[in-house]
Structure 1
Amino acid sequence: MISLPLFKRNMLYTAKIGIIFIAILIMYTTMIIYMFDPAMAEMLTQYQEMMPGIMAAVGMTGSTGTLLAFINTYLYGFIMLVIPMVFEIILINKFVMKYVDNGSMACLLSTPNTRVKIIITQLTSLILSVALLITLITGIGLLSCAIMFPGDLDIGRYLQLNLSAFLLHMLISSIGFLAACFFDESKGFFAVGAGLPILFYLIQMISNAGEKFKDLKYCTIFTLFPGDKIVEGISGVLSLNVTMAVMAAVLFILGVIRFKQKDLFI
């Protein structure tokens, strides 16, 4: 149901730009895990006390008593949310929007491939690329914890944390994918497909900044990420994961339907 030549081309592109994002995430992941050392952790606690508004805005406040809690606070409050999001926006622009915007989609569709086959190939490439990124960083995190703090990491909950992060990024990707399938020009895609997830994160930052704005958290998809619930071992993780998965699936399907129906000037 996919075009193998196109899929291979997509994955080669993913490998090229993925190296940059992987390197960045490996650096931050290993550095933050290393900082679980009591002396370094105390320094971060002091930063929270000196700059509470800034640290709260970027999600770097919360429990840090365990290695998992520390990772959730300092890695999954900002780094593992924003950097993969940029990666996804670049991929969606390359896999879908660029072909439509410059008219080269007509060349793809002049081959013995249907619209559905082409767009499913691009969607598969996107999902697999994001899955590979999250899986690799998860592995790096496990390895780093095993080397630096053997036995301190709750592996089961750490894997849950990364599964939830993956589902959140599927939801973010689905917004961009639907926008790329809907608009005929890149400006529309960047305004909605990239702009809306960024806006959601900015709203999340504002809601984290103080009690006055806390209700804004209900206006952003980032509230669905159950990092704190996983760390604390409380209920609600499954329902939030299912919500993210269902929303992403619906938006992906709508994107495929829209692409199938849209006028591509061919």
Structure 2
Amino acid sequence: MACHATFADVVEDPVLYLDAADNPAHPKAWENLGTEGGELLVADKPMELEEGEIKIPALGVSEPNAKYYTTKESHSTFGGPPPKNPPLFFEDWTLEFLCRRNGDFFLEEHHFAGFQNSPREGKQGVRLWIVGGQNLDMSIHAGGSKQGVQPLNLKLEEGVWTWITVVGTNDKSIVAYQDGKEVSEQAGFEFDKSLPIDDISIGANSFDERRRTFNGSFAIVRAYDKALSEAEVNQNISDTFAVDPADKLPTVWAKVKRDYQ
């Protein structure tokens, strides 16, 4: 499977790379610009492609003309039935999201994203959802069963753009970053790279649970089959945003596709 593009200073070889600013498959799917190719189909109802300001004060970023996908109602997610998704294979892994929570859940709760071996809650995977109103947490399946995890200490404040990264080093650690800073670390779990991560959902934990759609927006989603260091996490952020290093005044949106081939 060939890589669709090269990315200037982004850490090489993301297996999944979703960019709302560069999606020729809109509105029926979100095309994967990463090495595994393919696309994530719209589950039932397409997210709305919007253009507006993405502002992250902690990073000195304010871009008025960014593009992003926003959910408006339940059943509005990317990621179809598992056989339709590009399979990913993880031992070490990194998941990145440039996102914003826009309000309270549509139904009884709202989920966020899922990367797991089908069937859902099966042998292996990562499930992310919001608890306590704004806290992003996770469930890990590894070794064929659900594992006990600690809080990620990630907060999605309403109306606030943020950069979320969760890094799993096989059987060693899970480290969470928010806006480039480490906020938690806990023990890791062993992943089997022979098991395909094929139930992939952006905006819900799984295709079957898409009714619990995240009430929010996504601009960038990346997944790697390797554990990124803190320096690499910040390298990816710096490549997405062009920021004056002297005083962090916002400048311009650094388009990820500028080296598109």
TM category, shorter: under 0.3
Structure with a larger share of its residues in strand:
2
Which protein shows a greater Rg? 1
TM-score, reference length from structure 1: 0.23
